[in-house]
A = this chain, B = another copy of it.
Amino acid sequence: MYAANPNTILITDTTLRDAHQSLIATRLRTEDMLPLARAMDTVGFFSVEAWGGATFDSSIRFLNEDPWDRLRELKAVLPNTPIQMLLRGQNLVGYRHYPDDVVERFVSAAAGNGVDIFRVFDALNDIRNMKKAMEEVKNNGSHLQGAISYTTSPVHSTESFIRLARDLYALDCDSICIKDMAGLITPSAARDLITGIKAEMDIKVCLHSHSTSGLASLSYQAAIEAGVDILDTAMSPFALGTSQPPTESVVASLAGTPRDTGIDLVALRKVRNLCVDLREKYGALIDPISERVDSDVLIYQLPGGMISNLISQLKEQDALDRHEELLAEVPRVREDLGYPPLVTPTSQIVGTQAVINVLLGERYKNVTTEVRDYVRGLYGMPPAPISEEIRRHIIGDETVVTVRPADLLEPIYEKMKQQAEEAGLIRKEEDVLTYILYPSIAPSFLKGERKPEVIPKPQPEPSGAADFPASMEVEVDGEIFAVRII
């Protein structure tokens, strides 16, 4: 819902997508989303991010829920608020590149079933991996939000990100998102980047960060002062930690100022109360670590969870003593690979290779298939060129792909559709997409053979000690009185 006042900060609430993906492993059920979405619809959000990302995978894999049904049901209870989705460029809502015919069908099905705003990104910021999806968003008349995958490295700078913003702007984006998935952006970096984009381009800019390192709220405030238009926030029971800054706090911080969101805190309280109940229902899924500030992100610039993952890999190999060595090796591998932003799948690719290098005591003695494919150019163009030495060492004389990776993929939609129909899997056209995206889960899912995961029981909360004594002594003129504090 666009606000009338152009100074207004617009709020995209992420509770229905990124927040529950970040904190409760994308496990929110549609039946729990609907009352929440209904309450959210009256609040006045610019949009609710409610689809895409890992929700598609999770709903069929763990919840036995049809993501397309969910989308339509959400649409029905959100007549006033645009539904936003996160689209991984040519990866759609999967983990690899799909051919263009699948991208075309997917975007048009998403738009047709209720997505109003598409946030499109690529992990390497390779715009060739985003272009097809972006065109299709425009063809469907939807709002196109182009996203910059934010990271820090010697080859990433305010200027390099502004260049990327220029490309997105030239491709007719309706808004641009600075997508800081690891929570790395500092207040001054946010200020410079937002100021730079706004100075040059007439376009709304959104800041999306995660509170992983504790920087996000500081950077949101700097962004507000720098003229950001849209902020991504999550309702407080699902905010902070690896999720976004709290919606209520950002709304309250602006109340009565020239950039007032226009959102009423009392209306928001109803939404919050629903979230409090859901937090209780799903609480056992929350790893307390994901709620804490991870200051290692600030030192090693590895996203939350990656360091602990690496450490458990070392533990399994009985090599915990090589811990410091590994922390030094990860940035070296990242450098060798041209400084990819560390986010799925690049964080796994870099991290695993670093572990192998440290354990074998020789760098790139063994190389994973993923690193080989990466060097072959199959993931797209790395932010910096890979040195000839590393390339040779890893793929020898093999040629590096320089075309758009998806140009190597043949159309598959019709063939897969026929295959799925013959298997008796298809009841609606969207089932073909489900089948193409998740070919090994989809058959059992589409046949109705899967069971939803059970929600783990919440643990009883510790009672906590009172931080104020229940009674105390008061002395008057040398006489002692006991007073009960109520």
Contact = CB atoms under 8 A, between A and B. Distances in A.
B252 A272 contact: no
Copies of this chain present in the complex amount to 2
A419 B477 CA distance: 12
A118 B266 CA distance: 40
Contacts of A480: 439-440
A221 B95 CA distance: 37
A168 interface: no
Given A25-B467, A287-B463, A465-B27, A248 B295 contact: yes
A464 B225 CA distance: 37
Interface stretch (A41-49, A63-71, A454-462): A454-462
Nearest to A440: B473
Given A27-B465, A218-B221, A236-B295, A439 B475 contact: yes
A250 B459 contact: no
Nearest to A288: B461
Contacts of A441: 473
Contacts of A96: 474
Interface string A422-459: 00000000000000101111000000000000001001
Given A438-B473, A478-B416, A464 B249 contact: no
B269 A467 contact: no
B214 A292 contact: no
A95 B472 contact: yes
A459 B462 contact: yes
Given A292-B237, A472-B95, A217 B213 contact: no
A46 to B, nearest CB: 19
Given A54-B467, A239-B214, A462-B287, A295 B477 contact: no
A25 B287 CA distance: 23
Interface string A277-294: 000000011111111111
A14 interface: no
Interface in A192-247: 213-215, 217-222, 224-225, 236-237, 239-240, 245-246
A456 B467 contact: no
A268 interface: yes
Contacts of A255: 186
Contact of A485 (B217, B293, B348): B348
B214 A248 contact: yes
A127 to B, nearest CB: 24
Contacts of A344: 468
Contacts of A415: 478
Given A269-B296, A352-B486, A456-B462, A187 B288 contact: no
Contacts of A30: none
A250 to B, nearest CB: 7
- Among A22, A440, A459, max chain B CB count under 10 A is at A440
Contacts of A320: none
Contacts of A187: 221, 224, 253
Contact of A298 (B249, B291, B298): B249
A360 to B, nearest CB: 15
20 contacts: A61-B469, A96-B474, A187-B221, A187-B253, A214-B239, A214-B246, A214-B249, A214-B250, A214-B252, A215-B252, A217-B218, A218-B253, A219-B221, A240-B240, A249-B298, A285-B462, A286-B464, A416-B478, A439-B475, A440-B480
